[in-house]
Structure 1
């Protein structure tokens, strides 16, 4: 670790080599457990500085306590979400909406979009979501007694749900999967190419819906008005991009971790088979235990936060997987209890920027687990194979080969 990579105002005592990208257990590892690897963080200072804790190797302050993360995430004037995460891959500077907007624009767009994802609206989508899950699983069950659950189910399921909400067929499923993978996990060239392809796709769908409106998400967006005006092309793009990239990799990863857990814990698998009404509660515990997203904010001014001097421009990491294993917040945090009550996890963030699609994501995961258990006999990880897990900006699991009799 080089001192010249650490800002002068950061005390040496608060510097740690811990990183969600490079620490042991975070790199792609067979039979790894990146969530368990973060346990040591809770024996460290409640706020510390990690010099290499972003995709591009920049340093961040790391907030370890759940209550402190909530303070950061609800104070969007001091800790801004506007970082142009996506558009910077294109050398541009426009926000994903509403995630990267600041007040008052954030409130205006949030009020516009929130009604699309209420529990009632999500319930209206449930029939199609369940149909998409069951079709994929039925195909798997007919073809074999084993599958790569990420490639054959979790990823195509989340893409099919996205395309359904957009009013599109699943003929573009494979190419969307590749774009999102390259964007989130590819190198610089692949990431730029994927970002441009996604922008072109969103612009294409928006143009189509202006000419041929339908009862779908993009039609609502291109017809929407804020403050008595239509949305600009850039605003439509910012909404469309966020909806695409926020709901695919994260939900697929959650399903992967959940099914891997159930494969390794047959008693809990049997519990949910016997009492499927428990699945919604169990999903909340699995969201807590296997949170996938590191949320990063940028300080808009110098601030003393819980005794630590954070300067304007500093990046602040609220890694949900750290907060959701906080022993001050959760009894026996490393124990997965599918009957846990009062589960105040922050897997979907917290405060004004709480994930817009949280209700839909919850139902996707619960439906995916329910339909899998209803259609696939008792399953386990195939002997001779090992799931590969990784840390990073979005934790994930791959090469998850499940088998059943």
Structure 2
């Protein structure tokens, strides 16, 4: 069965005022468990889309049959190096994962929480002092995630506006702007790595350039691949999640009031919002011919495991289209599944929880400004922009 599912096309395509891409893709559960989308990827190739959560878990767990090695970011620049460890397969993936896991442990994230809270408060307090309305993505979500990233790298916050510009162009710019932003990001990572080789510091990049695997130092491409992953994956996904969460709360004042009055509920609520507004589509490449759920998948075919589909699966979640901020046993896959479970999941969760708590504690009842319309888009990472909130 063939379906043209443009919501899964390249970032920036099919932007929709007041759109709800998550509800739009959830309709696939009325159809077959797997279908073919002919225009799903940047390179124009089609993709098999897996709709059932349990089948997605099978794909994501089977790294021998479904490979992650695609070099998406580098190929957009005409280069061929992997984003690490995301685009590596076992056993190499496990080597790098073991190296990096301790940096993103729950213990490390807890230690970073005061800094995360400080960054959130500084941004929100400035917004609260100066205005009664803001573009939440431009004025808070992106600067907040960029600020945490700079803190993690041990860099000055003076670079914040530059990073926000790069990420905005990467997410929402035209083809030329996206390419230029990608080159700027790569150039920054390479320059920072070279600087830390010359002058070590107590930070993330120093750890990476001094690390060894199998008794050798990491190559320049390996260092670059790690740096790019942390920058890109750690910024757009968290910022997008915060944006979708803010849009939901702006449209649902009772839930907004509940979380404002009972901030201890925010952590559980965030899990439900991660489920309902998952942002990432994971794509694998078949390493051999296989029949999957009766469908003949050929070697080299792309297979999509979209979290926004799996997390609205009615066979996994009761009333999946209902947002229940008190939902228990929420076994969503917003951060993926299997060996490639998101490396920064602990950090992302903490950023979202802290961001929402501090916003609700400092900004009175807010709504989407009359006469404006937030723009949503599909793609490998679902996103939202022009989200203008206003308050008394």
**Aligning the two structures, in what range does the TM-score lie when normalised by the shorter sequence?**
over 0.9
Q: How far, CA to CA, are the matches of 1:182 and 1:314 in structure 2? A: 30
Which of 19, 23, 27 is residue 36 of structure 1 equivalent to?
A: 23
Q: How far, CA to CA, are the matches of 2:294 and 2:171 in structure 1? A: 34
> Does 2:243 match 1:256?
yes
Q: How far, CA to CA, are the matches of 2:390 and 2:171 in structure 1? A: 29
**C-alpha deviation, 1:188, in angstroms:** 3.3
Unaligned 5+ residue runs, structure 1? Answer: 1-13
**C-alpha deviation, 1:214, in angstroms:** 1.7
Q: How far, CA to CA, are the matches of 1:189 and 1:399 in structure 2? A: 21
**Partner of 2:72: helix, strand, or coil?**
coil
> Does 2:364 match 1:371?
no
**Partner of 2:125: helix, strand, or coil?**
helix
| CA shift digits 1:223-272 (9 cap, x unpaired) | 11111111111111110011110011111010011011111111111111
> Does 2:327 match 1:340?
yes
Contact 1:21/1:55 (<8 A) preserved: no
Q: How far, CA to CA, are the matches of 2:324 and 2:295 in structure 1? A: 34
Q: How far, CA to CA, are the matches of 1:59 and 1:351 in structure 2? A: 24
After TM superposition, the structure 1 = structure 2 runs for residues 267-306 of structure 1, keeping only pairs within 5 Å, are 267-306=254-293
Which residue of the partner structure matches residue 50 of structure 1? 37
Contact 2:67/2:286 (<8 A) preserved: yes
Which of 63, 73, 96 is residue 109 of structure 1 equivalent to?
A: 96
Moved more, 168-177 or 229-238: 168-177
Which residue of the partner structure matches residue 207 of structure 1? 194
Contact 2:9/2:380 (<8 A) preserved: no
Which of 74, 78, 81 is residue 65 of structure 2 equivalent to?
A: 78
After TM superposition, the structure 1 = structure 2 runs for residues 371-390 of structure 1, keeping only pairs within 5 Å, are 371-390=358-377
After TM superposition, the structure 1 = structure 2 runs for residues 353-372 of structure 1, keeping only pairs within 5 Å, are 353-372=340-359
Q: How far, CA to CA, are the matches of 1:56 and 1:188 in structure 2? A: 13
**C-alpha deviation, 1:88, in angstroms:** 0.4
**C-alpha deviation, 1:21, in angstroms:** 4.0
Q: How far, CA to CA, are the matches of 1:94 and 1:374 in structure 2? A: 44
Q: How far, CA to CA, are the matches of 2:387 and 2:247 in structure 1? A: 7
Q: Count residues in correspondence.
A: 391
**C-alpha deviation, 1:326, in angstroms:** 0.4
Q: How far, CA to CA, are the matches of 2:301 and 2:172 in structure 1? A: 24
**Partner of 2:6: helix, strand, or coil?**
coil
| CA shift digits 1:187-236 (9 cap, x unpaired) | 33333222221111001111111222222111110111111111111111
> Does 2:389 match 1:402?
yes
TM-score (norm 2): 0.97
Q: CA RMSD in A?
A: 1.5
Contact 1:182/1:191 (<8 A) preserved: yes
Moved more, 283-292 or 52-61: 52-61
Which residue of the partner structure matches residue 140 of structure 2? 153
Contact 1:48/1:63 (<8 A) preserved: yes
Q: How far, CA to CA, are the matches of 1:188 and 1:263 in structure 2? A: 32
> Does 2:230 match 1:243?
yes
After TM superposition, the structure 1 = structure 2 runs for residues 62-141 of structure 1, keeping only pairs within 5 Å, are 62-141=49-128
**C-alpha deviation, 1:182, in angstroms:** 2.8
